[in-house]
Chain A
């Protein structure tokens, strides 16, 4: 295995040049065992943290400007500071419910290096006085659950977790918890509801964010897996060292999953800010350009909820601010690439269908609106679109996430960008996220919608036929 190759035991991960902060052990086949972890500097970060005061550990994290890796990109050190003083106990909930379309990095971190995550949890608990930690792993990730269960058992047996950790007065419990298939549970208040044994429906915030009123009504820090996985390295080094990587506002490295119609899709850990989308999509060390000599049509820059970017924007750096200024987000670090053979209507439909299926049903605009968006897109795609469907689609979208969406207008007629971050008539951003693929596709590829609708108007619809030779149609 050489630099630039897939790592066979970590399918999808590609080893690339440059410093690795969170994926440094991925090249070892046994990276998930305690033996390998300890042999490669494991739990040294915890020992270093325990030699310092909790306030110093918190300060180091704040100074490093460690940005949350779940999607919102809020600095972890500042979030930790939001716990109201003198309200006890406080809890840590680790968000490992990774389900955003196109996203996977937390799953690899949990499967390949569970001890690194556990050590990160311990450091966070020590820094801000959290008395119990819940590791919420997505239900469908059976192998991650198995590896974390084994790792927790090993770490408990070795005295890294539990009563008086490594002989100090620091004591904490870490509990493996797992979900059962609901994207919405990745939203932090829904995650807390789910952890309380309820239906995973988001809570209204403000006024109360989880750091003030969370699990069981107590102050609760919800952090993403990748965010916490950075902490052992940070404790072994320093905030100053951390900031040598990446850019000033987005220091450190980040994992990006690039999928879709590129030659070598993969998960890459790269420095933020100094690397661009172009580097990732076309670089020899990375995706090596489009498949089959095709050209880039559009790409989703940060998970299914992010408005799309287009070929002329590939030079944007992988950094929250410039990507935000371009009207979209770095989000969860998931890049989905569409080439010129793809159909914009279909791509928008497939993403919208996701939100329609995953809506929790709490807020009417999202529950009803997302499924109407799907139905309208489906009939346009199927060749049954009606005149006025695009206006209807935007009207439904406007009820979930108020526009303005200039009706019957694409960018050639002056539509610059779609509003982002979206406004919302809902409690959480799930419903408004369904609008991004629609407006993105319409903005640049409106003609594809118009063509399909025009074809429907002139088509002489044949009678609906059932393929009676299909085995799947034969009922028993």
Chain B
């Protein structure tokens, strides 16, 4: 697949500027690559290496540590079903089994039409609302098997399922790779003082001013 588009390169530079050292931007940039292509390709990793000034191997080293980054194409919708203890006690494993049977794939697999990937995941922080799932990191809570079928049917029909929680009601579920629909925007005029730590030698001015007052 591809390197970052020009628009995304501009965004990448914006992100890199927020960190005292460029390599710190690597995880957000890997997310950006995944947002563009739905997965992280070798070409994208080489491109990120150029942007932050490290080797492609270092980018791959970081990328492969984190399970949200996919090194091969996955479904448009990543369906993560929690089976950790709180969900397991209330039917998480049965829900996973139902999902596997309904979609005809095992956890880790992708449907033939490229629409859905199922994952058997660890705790996703909605334990009181078990059994819970995430579809492209949007929650579905206290789901029955019928609720699950409704979600799949709505997504196949191109609608936002009622049972998935978005930041604003009715907001679309973006395809895999896009997380929050808003980005932090920091113009250079807005930022206070983001520079490398080597260039700072003194206590911040508000501390020294307060000390003088005393």
Contact = CB atoms under 8 A, between A and B. Distances in A.
B88 A350 contact: yes
B155 interface: no
B165 A180 contact: no
Contact of A129 (B137, B165, B204): B204
A259 interface: yes
Contact of B83 (A179, A199, A350): A350
B85 A86 contact: no
Contacts of B30: 180
Interface stretch (A18-26, A189-197, A388-396, A427-435): A189-197
Contacts of A98: 125
Interface stretch (A314-322, A366-374, A468-476): A468-476
Given A142-B138, A300-B85, A149 B183 contact: yes
A357 interface: yes
A142 B137 contact: yes
Interface in B41-63: 52, 54, 61-62
B154 interface: no
A129 B207 contact: yes
B127 to A, nearest CB: 4
Contact of A334 (B90, B127, B207): B127
A162 B90 CA distance: 46
A145 B106 contact: no
A449 interface: no
Contact of A472 (B104, B136, B193): B104
Given A145-B180, A153-B184, A472-B105, A169 B125 contact: no
A67 B122 CA distance: 28
B27 A99 contact: no
A11 B182 contact: no
Interface string B114-155: 000000001111111110001011110100000000000000
A150 interface: yes
B1 interface: no
Interface in B9-30: 18-21, 23-28, 30
A143 B112 CA distance: 29
A197 B51 CA distance: 13
A351 B87 CA distance: 12
Contacts of A107: 125-126
Contact of B19 (A142, A144, A175, A351): A175
A44 interface: no
Interface in B165-212: 165-167, 179-186, 190-194, 197, 200-207, 209-210
B123 A101 contact: yes
Interface stretch (A133-141, A270-278, A410-418, A457-465): A133-141
* B contact patch SS: loop
B206 A54 contact: yes
A89 interface: yes
A346 B103 CA distance: 26
A354 B124 contact: no
Contacts of A170: 204, 206
Interface stretch (A230-238, A261-269, A323-331, A400-408): A261-269
A408 to B, nearest CB: 26
Interface residues of A, number: 92
A173 B191 contact: yes
A141 B137 contact: yes
Nearest to B122: A354
A385 interface: no
A357 B122 contact: yes
B6 interface: no
A260 B206 contact: no
B180 A142 contact: yes
Contacts of B37: none
A152 B31 CA distance: 20
A162 B18 CA distance: 12
B39 to A, nearest CB: 13
B86 interface: yes
A86 B190 CA distance: 27
A347 interface: yes
Contact of B192 (A11, A173, A183, A351): A173
Contact of A150 (B27, B165, B182): B182
Given A89-B197, A145-B179, A200 B65 contact: yes
A472 B111 CA distance: 10
B70 to A, nearest CB: 10
A146 interface: yes
A257 interface: yes
A169 B212 CA distance: 13
A260 B127 CA distance: 8
A275 B193 CA distance: 45
A103 B82 CA distance: 13
A410 to B, nearest CB: 21
B31 A178 contact: yes
Contacts of B183: 149
A444 B95 CA distance: 30
Contact of B122 (A104, A146, A183): A183
Nearest to A136: B27
A309 interface: no
Contact of A259 (B86, B210, B214): B86
A139 B179 contact: yes
A200 B213 CA distance: 43
Interface in A42-72: 53-55
Given A101-B122, A153-B185, 12 more contacts: A102-B123, A104-B128, A142-B179, A143-B165, A163-B191, A170-B206, A171-B192, A173-B192, A175-B19, A180-B66, A265-B130, A304-B123
Interface of B: 18-21, 23-28, 30-31, 52, 54, 61-62, 65-69, 80, 83-86, 88-90, 100-101, 103-106, 112, 122-130, 134, 136-139, 141, 165-167, 179-186, 190-194, 197, 200-207, 209-210, 213-214
6 contacts: A139-B137, A180-B27, A180-B68, A201-B65, A265-B128, A360-B65
Closest 8 pairs (CB-CB, A-B): A146-B180, A180-B66, A197-B26, A259-B127, A197-B23, A145-B180, A104-B125, A265-B128
